[in-house]
Amino acid sequence: MSERFQSPYPMLYVQYHLQGGARRFATIAVGYVLVCVLALLGYRRAAALDSWRTVALHALRTLAYAQGVICVLVGSNMVYRALFRDHQSRMSESHRLSPMSDISVVLGYMFGGPLQAMMLFGINLAVGTLLASIAMAPVKTFLGGNALLLSCAMTVWSLAIFWGVGHNKPVSPVGPLIGLLFAGKM
């Protein structure tokens, strides 16, 4: 018997409001953009650089690392926190009894849990595209790399959901990810 697809909108809506709603998202977005601008201006002044092209090249490298941390570590931790919050409040049992399909619950966790991380990813994408054009770097390469990064991050998010769904307490994927990172450097 096949399960028909239902919209994950109810889960997305709930996760959006549990994370603070429009006011908190706007505050985080404005604060993050201000931090980015101040970091660029501070780096230009501290390094005594005259060329914005050089500043943009250095900032692109830093932005690539920030994108990785935001997508993989922060995003997977946000998925874990959503699962853990539902486990503690016994909301996961309500999901099992609700008429939502399993696919819509998983998609709701996958895209609703890391909403703030996805917002920061989008801001970094816009800032990085602007910086790549200032640095005269290939924008297509920057966008392609970010698409690959988001794809890999979504794989980690789905692993976090796999580890977190069930009768047991969810497991945070951040520890194993950091362990893999250090094991890969050896």
SS3 category, 36? helix
pTM of the model: 0.86
| CA pair distance 7, 107, nearest whole angstrom | 9
Q: How confident is the model at residue 40 (pLDDT cuts 50, 70, 90)?
A: very high
106-148 pLDDT, tens digit each: 888 899 889 999 999 999 999 999 999 999 999 999 999 999 9
Tell me the C-alpha to C-alpha distance, in Å, between residue 117 and each of 15, 31, 56, 74, 137.
13, 14, 23, 6, 25
Contact 41, 119 (CB under 8 A): no
